[in-house]
Amino acid sequence: MIITKLLISVFVLFAISRLVMRFREGKVSNTGLVGWLLIWFTVETIILVPRVTSDIAQFLGIGRGADLIIYSSIIILFYLIFRIFISLEDIEREVTKIVQRDALKNVKKGKRKR
Amino acid sequence: MKAAIIVPAFNEEATIKMVIDELKKQKIWGLKKEIVVINDGSVDSTAKIAHRENATVISHVINRGLGAALSTGLKYVKKNKFDIAITFDADGQHKAKDLERLIKPILKNKADIVIGARQFNKEGMPIDRKIINTFANIITYILFNVLVSDSQSGLRAFSNKAIQLIEIRTNRMEVSSELLRQAKVKKLKVKEIPISAIYTNYSKIKGQKNINAINILMKMLIYKFNKN
């Protein structure tokens, strides 16, 4: 158990160091930095003090800490799917723009005027 | 005045000749007309037949869906300064003789968009289509606050003002509702006139699949809450 905690903590530290590096390079926005830091600190807290999840779960009336994690995972996954859906739509629209530009360059007019 | 008849077509080699022929024969209040077939990535000879039939053919290299095809058509119409644009399905479900009645409100300056509403009688529309259409109309009303009797009709006419203002962003079948939403946002006058629709087995297979309704609903929700 201790070894798992240690390994995950090292990984979290690694992730945070990469995040800070990317932030310094200007590749992560301020909001991005805060958001990701929050996520990683939450992970680290849960790893070090697993009781926290039970306490929050109790507070929210869910019962078990494990349930809380599953519920929040589902919500996060749904949100991510929604984001992917939106970005796919954006890509589709970009593809259409390219196809349209090409199509309008190559209009084949009918031979006779009506 | 000149009118463009936009015919979005995806693999319609069986009917495209008949549709173009019918449109060519039809007089529209003496307006100069151009038939513009938007070949939406067909893999059959739709484009070839349309070209042979003397229509203007604009081809998408890959299939992008009804919304994209209509958008391409409207861009062409805008660029070439047409006064009126008409959209007409390529599967043969519309009758060219309805066109004069369709654009009359525009010529009289009484509407910017006219929708040819298919009639909800026994012969007009199969029962499953009727249910889904009613559902689509209700959803369109709830989401976009526009009440029409046939929000999914493919026969429409646009005034010059509508041509200039409308920008289609949806790619696929949900374009029918998107057009109504845009009409609302851009304060365009929408009018419906009853038309006859011919539901053949062919047009049923080629038209919207019933299951597609769920997909359209999902996208309409996203547009409602995500974009203005």
Q: pTM value? A: 0.74
**Model pLDDT, residue A112:** 57
**Model pLDDT, residue B228:** 43
ipTM of the complex: 0.77
Say if the Cβ atoms of B58 and A110 lie within 8 Å: no
Average pLDDT over residues A91-113: 88
Q: Give me the residues paired with residue B116 across strands.
A: B193
Residue with the larger pLDDT of the pair A13 and B123: A13
Please identify which residue in the block is written with the tokens 């929000």.
B151
Mean of the per-residue pLDDT values of chain A? 87
Residues from chain B that touch A99, judged by Cβ atoms under 8 A, are: 60-62, 64, 68
Among the ranges given (A61-65, A71-75, B61-65), the one the predictor scored with the smallest mean pLDDT = A61-65
**Model pLDDT, residue A114:** 46
Say if the Cβ atoms of A108 and B59 lie within 8 Å: yes
**Model pLDDT, residue B209:** 60
Interface test with B, best of A89, A90, A94, A105 (most B CBs within 10 A): A89
Residues from chain A that touch B77, judged by Cβ atoms under 8 A, are: none
Residues from chain B that touch A106, judged by Cβ atoms under 8 A, are: 58-59
Residue A96 has its nearest CB partner, among B38, B64, B76, at B64
Q: Could you tell me if B193 and B105 are in contact, meaning their C-beta atoms sit under 8 angstroms apart?
A: yes
Per-position pLDDT tens, chain B of length 228 = 999 999 999 999 999 999 999 999 999 988 999 999 999 999 999 999 999 999 999 999 999 999 999 999 999 999 999 999 999 999 888 889 999 999 999 999 999 999 998 876 655 567 777 787 788 788 878 877 777 777 778 899 999 999 999 988 887 777 888 888 888 889 999 999 988 777 666 666 665 666 666 777 777 776 666 554
Q: Tell me the residue type at B167.
A: E
Determine what percent of chain A is predicted with pLDDT higher than 90.
Answer: 34
**Model pLDDT, residue B142:** 80
Q: Does B55 touch chain A (CB under 8 A)?
A: yes
Residue A99 has its nearest CB partner, among B53, B64, B169, at B64
Strands laid side by side in the B2-9 sheet:
B56-60, B32-40, B2-9, B84-87, B156-158, B113-118, B190-195
Residue with the larger pLDDT of the pair A89 and A113: A89
**In 10 A of CB B171, how many CB atoms?**
23
Radius of gyration, CA atoms only, chain A: 24
Average pLDDT over residues A30-59: 87
Q: What are phi and psi of B4, to 5 degrees?
A: -110, 135
Q: Does B76 touch chain A (CB under 8 A)?
A: yes
Say if the Cβ atoms of B222 and A96 lie within 8 Å: no
Please identify which residue in the block is written with the tokens 């047009």.
B203
Residues from chain A that touch B72, judged by Cβ atoms under 8 A, are: 100, 103-104
Residues from chain A that touch B215, judged by Cβ atoms under 8 A, are: none
